[in-house]
Structure 1
Amino acid sequence: MATLGIHKDFLMEFARLEKPVQKRVREVFDKFQEHRHAGLHLEKIEKARDPRIRTIRITQFMRGVVLAPESGDSFLLLKVMPHDDAIAWAVKHRATVNSATQGIELRNDVALERATAGVRALDPTDSGPLFARVSDKDLTRLGIDTDLLPLVRHLSDETHLDALHKILPEQQYDVLAGLAAGMEPEDVWREVVLVQLEQVSPHVSQQVTVVPGSDQSVRPVAEDDLSAAMARSQGRIALVSGPAEFMEILARPFEAWRVFLHPSQRKVAYRPSYKGPARVIGGPGTGKTVVALHRALHLAQQLPADAPDESILLTTFTRDLATDLRGSLELLIPDDQLRAKVRVGNVDALANQIVREDHGAPLSIVTRQKEISARWDAIAQRLGIDFTDVFLDQEWRHVVLAQNLRSPEAYLKASRSGRGTALGPLKRAQVWRAVEAFTQELRRTGEWTFLQVCAEAARLLEEGGDERPYRHVVIDEAQDLHPAQWRLLRALVVPGPDDLFIAGDTHQRIYGNKVSLRSLGISVTGRSTRLRINYRTSQEILAWSTALLTGERIDDMDGGDESLTGYRSAFHGAPPQTSGADSKSDELGGLVEQIQEWNRVGVSPHEMGVAVRYIQLGKDVAYALERAGVPATVLGGTPGTGDGVRIGTMHRMKGLEFRCMAVVGVNDGVLPMHSAVTAEDVDPQQHQADLLGELSLLFVACTRAREALRVSWHGRPSPFLGTVVTAVDNRDRVKRPGPR
């Protein structure tokens, strides 16, 4: 059988083709799997820079582009494009081997020659050359082609580098982008180059050794090592093992690409073993969830043959996120028997099951915050203590439950770090009386809160001896978990190698739960990896969204601060658009126009998302769209048309992504939402924490976008937009371009 590789550009372009053309692509390239590729009429291109790049007819108007050596049995599917575009692309490009990673690269030689001539004509800037601090020796060691050094040396700022993004070999652009972001050459070697080298498959006979500073020139891909070079290009090229896998990938190309891994991600996911808890962190779109999914697959593959089903737990914060994880796992692990080794579920549901089985009866859970607040208020009045319901509830959750305090003596000695109102011994005694009254009332009525259930489940497991339910636990969206939930997760698995694998980003913390992993006996020292490249969101959207958090201090869940330094996107696109309106109806009218425009330029309704702060506004959006003939689906609400625009609260949008994203109703008084923010006179520190949670919620919503983002409001805009919107009435100059 021929060795067949699929380049990611091919896959993404295939996803946007019309259905009849997709069917024809499947028919044509399926022949590769049956050794009938010799009759596929791979056509040579006149005056091509690389004679091995051929085209193949798909339809009268569409052609595929293939790297096809004269001999050998390895092929690489590169592009699928309209006829003239395919010919033009094939003429200009050449396939080479990166001097550092030995993986395949595609060079646009014509564009690179023009760019070299163009930058030499640029006037020098006051800041000097962009890479003045990096030697030629380091550049070549990192895989920069020697013939590109003159081009690199003439770049004076990052905008010049960004302009070359589409024509530079992708691996080399990643190297230069890392250096331009301030990373040292050794950091780039470790995070960009070395991770690629470590992905060389065991069956590849040629091992790569790069001598630091060696002068390695551009080398074409040899006919006899194309298969090995493709194997070294994981994250950019997918190797297809058979007809079934080929058809599965083409059946769901967008979804399939989401579970492919960049080398920096693969290094984390497929490390043979960690000696203890391990963690992966990174901003939105860096692939943390994908890494967690692949880690679950790797652990399942390493289980002994007699391991029972559900030996591994893949868990997250909410039921909706668990549902999304389950769907992705089905795509990643089509084998039912192997997938059965992994249980997917949210933490609260698991805790409920453990306690319910111990008690032998269903649990009555109090879920409405209004009901909980009313109970605290009634208790405060009955006891005659001068504390608000909000303060008492937060003290109970953030101090008592967070530290698992079970006596007034323990509470008297407990740290209240992060709580802004100081409490002396007398005040603490009053608070403890209220806590006891609250918990006694719940016991009397046979009711629980979710956090109480988690605490009880952890106690049952800890007192149950050495037997634990799982061999490995993989945790996604870790930043939103409460300490009581963390104690449960710690109790689910025996401490040891590969016990806990944690993925999260504290910039996306939207539920206000802060935790120190170290204080809970979860040490990730020496086993923590940061991902820096965003594969979902364009650089323009990323920069705009990141500016929302400028100046905010974000903890890293381990006693330090988290930073987005060096965080960057893998691609460019249109800048975000902002739009204000005088009324809600005017804002919704502008939204409908934008949705219709995105649809006219080829974006399907289900590829668009609309985020709102509260569900009623989402229903209003759905009504406006449906009146205009646009199908809409409110997530978590009454189901609409399955292929409609996805509308959901900002909380519900967590973990999702869309080609085009609209964030609606970003008004003063809505973001931040008054009811979600503790009054400053009640607890100034909690007030600031709540404001940061609301700001992070907006950040999460905006970073769901892949290609286009529109943020709108009516009346006065949210104060959060002050750093990114220069004037309220900029709506008069806003244009609404489609995605790139």
Structure 2
Amino acid sequence: MITPDAAALALFPAAEDPERPLAERILDGLDPEQRQAATALRGPVCILAGAGTGKTRAITHRIAYGIATGVYTPQKVLALTFTTRAANEMRHRLRVLGAEGVQARTFHSAALRQLQYFWPQAVGGTVPELVEHKARLVAQAAGSMRLSNDRASIRDLAGAIEKAKVSMLTPETYVDAVTGGGKDSSVAQLPAGHDPRTVARLWQTYEDLKTDLDLIDFEDVLLLMVGILEEDQRIAATVREQYRHFVVDEYQDVSPLQQRLLDAWLGPRDDLCVVGDASQTIYSFTGATSRHLLEFPRRFPSATVVKLVRDYRSTPQIVNTANRLLAARRPGADSTPGSWATPLELVGQRAPGPVPSWNEYDDDQLEAQATTVRIQDLLDDGVPASQIAVLFRTNGQAQAYETALADAGIGFRLRGTEQFFRRPEIRQALLQIRSAAHAVDPDTEGDHGISSAPAHDVGQTVRDMLSSLGWSATAPRVTGAVRETWESLAALVDMTDRMATAHREAVRAAVDAGTEDPGPFTLRHVAKELTRRSVQQDAPAVEGVTLASLHSAKGLEWDAVFLVGLTEGLVPIAFAETSDEVDEERRLLYVGITRAREHLMLSWSLSRTPGGRANRSASRFVQDIVPQRSLTQGSTKRRARGPHR
């Protein structure tokens, strides 16, 4: 059995026999496919690397081997990735392998460095100031057009502009991209509540504002560098002389704009190595597309193609679950031809482990509480809290797990989102609820006013207040900040309803016991309890269980992973209407499954709230990967609390 990548992070140089040539020692410990990738040093190379197959190991050893054999000069290699963390990891591994001097950067970092260097000779003067967050300028542009500038709407508009720019659109071409032949989500998105022409005008106003203020945004960095390289042959020749060999990690996430910049860097050469997995394409909403990865062999007919399928991360049981999920996909009548690549069938290299469990619960609260019990069991068995993750589809689902873990005294940390009570819409909602609660004279509370309303009226009052912040009785069928805001506010509504239910039970218990009646349920009860929870859960961050959305979990791994809320409408999300969109949701769950090393738990609930109608069903994806007989048995035992196997 091949040594897992993690175990080889002594990567090498203290190799047993330092007298052996460095190049030979660099190849030690690589499996046959990794070795093939590492020794393919010339011409176009495409490495198709499944989850957990050691792709970073393969490409860093490839670079180091090229340097050790004299094929590469370190300073002439540019390794590109998508996050600063990944770039830092790559640099660290290259240093350990003795390959210092290689530039490992994100696309934006590499482009910005070049832009700052070449701007004086290409344009003159100094580079405009970089705007790291465009929301303020987008809000200013919206205000000048008398458009809504609430936080969620501005975030969605900013996201739409970003996607359009990396998809090589302009304000003039945006409308046709959105409306021509139907909305094309692969190149443009239309924020909820806006028409295409309004968004195009807003985008142009935003661009004019930047020009007036001598500012550029992150997309401009790439666009400007593309323009310089395509228009100034002297500068292009200088860059191409500096960088002779290119390596691109996570190539399935390249946008059209990044691909155009990469083409400008390359020029007529083909010394390019790309690494990716089309089955992990989950960021199309940002403009990422796997098209460039899928078309690479056609673009470069002489390319060396290497497939890495030996999974060193997960147990065979988890690997087989992931394989079944992808194998069950069937094309729809509207599927875009060529958009779904034949998945790599992974082969688990680890020792066998526990069979993944699937669990059905009556409601979200029970699901969160039962998940917490399972987490405590793992902690008792010695699994570190830092090696446990709870992954969900939307950030609004985090609240139930924050509460359940906090109530159990288990530390947690959120990734890719703010803690529930720190979110802007929740802070604003709490302010409104407190203000309304304190509007009633405390000496007359219970005699009149909203604070003394019946429980159901209190719940309605809360709903009325939150409707001004973005809550509605039905979920918006859109993605982005508007949906995330709704999820957060819906969680607050559910919390209020649970408080009302708990209060009614306390009243009944008091009557049965003949003790003092706790009195009517009031808005002040809600304000006081929400304030208590806010203070309790705003404690300093601690090391603990990770709570994260499926999107933000990409690139990470844990010993134990809980995939929660796996119901139709969440996974796949309700607004995934086309076959291509559902395919991406399938890939998103695949990414979640492949984050787990040893323990994998899947769960769903039949109702959002305690006592609510059981009108949910398990995700169609769950039905693809869970043995049908077991799923049927689990679904009929709706009062069951334990795991179904």
Instruction: Name the TM-score class by shorter chain.
Output: 0.5 to 0.7
Which of 436, 454, 467 aligns to 2:238? It is 467
The 3 A distance-change label for structure 1 pair 481 and 11 is: closer
Q: Which residue of 2 aligns with 1:532?
A: 309
Q: Which residue of 2 aligns with 1:491?
A: 264
Where do residues 119-138 of structure 1 align in structure 2 (5 Å cutoff)? none
Q: SS at the partner of 2:299?
A: coil
8 Å CA contact 2:311–2:346 kept in 1: the answer is yes
Q: Which string of whole-angstrom CA distances, capped at 9 and with x for unpartnered residues, describes residues 8-36 of structure 1?
A: 67999xx8xxxxxxxxxxxxxxxxxxxxx
Q: Which residue of 2 aligns with 1:207?
A: none
Q: What is the root-mean-square deviation in Å for CA atoms of aligned residues?
A: 5.1
Q: Which residue of 2 aligns with 1:653?
A: 553
| Structure with greater contact order relative to length (CA < 8 Å, sep ≥ 6) | 2
Q: Which residue of 1 aligns with 2:15?
A: 241
Q: Which residue of 2 aligns with 1:296?
A: 63
| Deviation of the 1:536 alpha carbon | 2.0
The amino acid of 2:561's aligned partner reads M
Where do residues 257-656 of structure 1 align in structure 2 (5 Å cutoff)? 261-271=30-40, 273-275=41-43, 277-302=44-69, 309=75, 311-317=76-82, 319=83, 322-327=84-89, 329-331=91-93, 333-334=95-96, 338-355=98-115, 358=119, 359-368=126-135, 402-403=167-168, 419=184, 439-444=207-212, 446=214, 448-462=216-230, 463=232, 464-468=235-239, 469-493=242-266, 495-496=268-269, 499-512=271-284, 513-514=288-289, 516-517=291-292, 523-525=299-301, 526-549=303-326, 550-552=328-330, 561-564=340-343, 566-571=345-350, 572-615=352-395, 617-618=397-398, 621-622=401-402, 624-636=404-416, 640-642=541-543, 644-656=544-556
Q: Which residue of 2 aligns with 1:721?
A: 622
8 Å CA contact 1:405–1:411 kept in 2: the answer is no
The 3 A distance-change label for structure 1 pair 615 and 486 is: same
The 3 A distance-change label for structure 1 pair 420 and 326 is: closer
Aligned counterparts of 1:533 and 1:10: Cα–Cα separation in 2: 10
Q: Which residue of 1 aligns with 2:458?
A: none
The amino acid of 2:545's aligned partner reads V
The amino acid of 2:56's aligned partner reads T
Aligned counterparts of 1:618 and 1:710: Cα–Cα separation in 2: 17
| Deviation of the 1:735 alpha carbon | 5.4
The amino acid of 1:292's aligned partner reads I
Aligned counterparts of 1:379 and 1:720: Cα–Cα separation in 2: 44
TM-score, normalised via structure 2 length = 0.59
The amino acid of 2:329's aligned partner reads G
Q: SS at the partner of 2:261?
A: helix
Q: SS at the partner of 2:600?
A: strand
Q: SS at the partner of 1:349?
A: helix
8 Å CA contact 2:174–2:196 kept in 1: the answer is no
Q: Mind listing any 5+ residue stretches in structure 2 that lack a counterpart?
A: 20-27, 120-125, 189-194, 420-539, 608-615
TM-score, normalised via structure 1 length = 0.52
8 Å CA contact 1:351–1:457 kept in 2: the answer is yes
The 3 A distance-change label for structure 1 pair 660 and 390 is: closer
| Deviation of the 1:630 alpha carbon | 3.6
Q: SS at the partner of 1:647?
A: strand
With 348-357 and 570-579 compared, the bigger mean Cα shift is at 348-357
Where do residues 155-194 of structure 1 align in structure 2 (5 Å cutoff)? none
Aligned counterparts of 2:186 and 2:71: Cα–Cα separation in 1: 53
Which protein is richer in helix relative to its size? 2
User: How many correspondences in the alignment?
Assistant: 469
| Deviation of the 1:704 alpha carbon | 0.6
Aligned counterparts of 2:599 and 2:568: Cα–Cα separation in 1: 24
Aligned counterparts of 1:618 and 1:698: Cα–Cα separation in 2: 17
Q: SS at the partner of 2:237?
A: coil
The 3 A distance-change label for structure 1 pair 635 and 432 is: closer
Q: Mind listing any 5+ residue stretches in structure 1 that lack a counterpart?
A: 1-6, 16-233, 246-258, 383-387, 681-686
The amino acid of 1:419's aligned partner reads D
Tell me if 1:693 matches 2:470: no
The 3 A distance-change label for structure 1 pair 448 and 545 is: farther
The 3 A distance-change label for structure 1 pair 617 and 673 is: same
Q: SS at the partner of 2:236?
A: coil
| Deviation of the 1:659 alpha carbon | 1.9
| Deviation of the 1:710 alpha carbon | 0.6
Aligned counterparts of 1:444 and 1:401: Cα–Cα separation in 2: 22
The amino acid of 1:487's aligned partner reads R
The 3 A distance-change label for structure 1 pair 263 and 367 is: farther
